[in-house]
């Protein structure tokens, strides 16, 4: 287990380095933030002085080397527009984003797993068809469109829930639900397909022939083996939710990292954008590392792979 963990950790560090390199290069070739920071009547000398102050006058390789040296020390630079440490700004918004992501994943998993099991155990029946039809609607509907519809129905027409902001648990219902529907539909289909495949295996028929209760066959034998590939997919989607929640945060005025990222993109606030990308990458890698360990628990043969 120890060697398996160290190997995954080493791979995660390489991925983190590649992510920072790609983001850094893309940002610095996409435009000049100094032109947005300075007034329209600024002279070329003023622009050059500002580039020198921000360190943007140096070669790109040197800038990246300085960035890596500072990043190792936890310094991601100072925001061009907020005048505060970029990493601090992102981390202040992190709890709100994590709250939204965790709530969305819980809604998806709590509903998708039992519905997927019910659909698989009632294959071809009305319940199965309703689950498939509902999942098709969920997969086909963009989260931002669902969010707008939710605001119109539940906040404007019915006035049951607040339409924006972050405060009580009621503020979380609409954004978390709109963000979870796609993954709920996808997870339902994955659980259903996995259950149908596993329940057709010989060992399931053997267990039934020995008189094992159907609930034991479904939940102990079939579900555990279905979860082995599902855990990996669910972990990937949980990490991608941090990036996918950007539009949802904007629609519901949710004060998370995604909303800060969008504002920083508009004004080309490089330190904040890079800090956001680094934080998201670290969280994504931590989730994947946790998924790998869970995968080993579900299937101990994995730890012996080279």
CATH of the domain at 173: 1.10.3720.10
Domain annotation covers residue 13: no
Q: What angle do CA 248, 253, 259 make, to 5 degrees?
A: 70
- Position 281 pLDDT exceeds 70: yes
The reply to whether 178 falls in a domain is: yes
- pLDDT on residue 306: 46
Per-residue pLDDT band for 300 (boundaries 50, 70, 90) equals low
DSSP string, 126-177: HHHHHHHHHHHHHHHS-HHHHHHHHIIIIIIIS--S-SS---STHHHHHHHH
Distance, CA of 180 to CA of 191 (rounded, Å): 16
For residue 286, pLDDT over 80 is answered with yes
Contact 195, 222 (CB under 8 A): yes
253: containing domain: 86-304
Residue 105 pLDDT exceeds 80: yes
Count of structural domains, the chain: 1
Q: Please say whether the beta carbons of 41 and 51 come within 8 A.
A: no
38 three-class SS: coil
252-257-258 Cα angle (round to 5): 55
Residue 39 — pLDDT band, cuts 50, 70, 90? confident
Q: Which of 76-90, 146-160, 166-180, 192-206 has the lowest mean pLDDT?
A: 192-206
Domain assignment present for residue 159? The answer is: yes
Report the pLDDT value the prediction gives residue 299, as an integer from 0 to 100.
Answer: 62
pLDDT at residue 303 tops 60: no
* Whether the predicted model's global pTM rises above the 0.85 cut: no
Place of tokens 């797993």: 113
Contact 258, 188 (CB under 8 A): no
Residue 67, domain member (yes or no): no
When pLDDT is averaged across residues 126-131 and rounded to a whole number, the result is 88
- Domain membership flag for residue 163: yes
Which pLDDT value is given to residue 111? 92
Nearest one of 278, 236, 238, 227 to 257, comparing CA atoms: 278
Average confidence (pLDDT) over 18-29: 79
**Is residue 284, in this structure, part of any structural domain at all?**
yes
Q: Distance between CA atoms of 294 and 277, rounded to whole angstroms?
A: 26
In-domain check, residue 79 = no
Instruction: Give the pLDDT of residue 298.
Output: 63
Task: Flag whether 51 is in a domain.
Answer: no
Residue 28 or 274, more confident? 274
Which is more confident, 132 or 36? 132
With a cut of 80, say whether residue 118 has pLDDT above it: yes
Q: From residue 174, give the alpha-carbon distance in Å to each of 108, 141, 180.
A: 14, 15, 10
């Amino acid at each position: 287990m120890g060697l398996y963990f160290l190997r995954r950790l080493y791979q995660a560090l390489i991925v983190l380095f590649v992510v920072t390199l790609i983001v850094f290069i893309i940002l610095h070739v996409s435009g000049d933030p100094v032109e947005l920071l300075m007034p329209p009547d600024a002279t070329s000398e003023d622009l050059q002085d500002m580039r020198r102050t921000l360190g943007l006058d140096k070669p790109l390789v040197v800038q990246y080397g300085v960035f890596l040296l500072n990043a190792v020390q936890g310094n991601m630079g100072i925001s061009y527009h907020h005048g505060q440490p970029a990493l601090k700004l992102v981390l202040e918004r992190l709890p709100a984003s994590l709250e939204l992501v965790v709530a969305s994943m819980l809604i998806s998993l709590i509903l998708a797993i039992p519905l997927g099991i019910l659909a698989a155990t009632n294959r071809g029946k009305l319940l199965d068809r309703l689950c498939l039809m509902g999942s098709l609607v969920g997969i086909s509907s963009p989260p931002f469109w669902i969010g707008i519809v939710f605001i119109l129905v539940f906040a404007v027409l019915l006035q049951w829930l607040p339409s924006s902001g972050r405060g009580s648990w009621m503020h979380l219902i609409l954004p978390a639900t709109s963000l979870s529907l796609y993954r709920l539909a996808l997870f339902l289909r994955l659980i259903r397909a996995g259950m149908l495949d596993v329940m057709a295996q010989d060992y399931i028929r053997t267990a039934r022939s020995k008189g094992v209760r159907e609930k034991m066959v479904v939940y102990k034998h079939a579900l555990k083996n279905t979860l082995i590939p599902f855990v990996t997919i669910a972990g990937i989607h949980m990490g991608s939710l941090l990036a996918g929640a950007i539009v949802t945060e904007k629609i519901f005025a949710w004060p998370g990292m995604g909303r800060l990222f969008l504002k920083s993109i508009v004004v080309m606030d490089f330190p904040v954008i890079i800090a956001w990308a680094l934080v998201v990458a670290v969280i994504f890698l931590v989730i994947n590392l946790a998924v790998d360990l869970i995968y080993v628990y579900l299937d101990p043969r994995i730890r012996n792979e080279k």
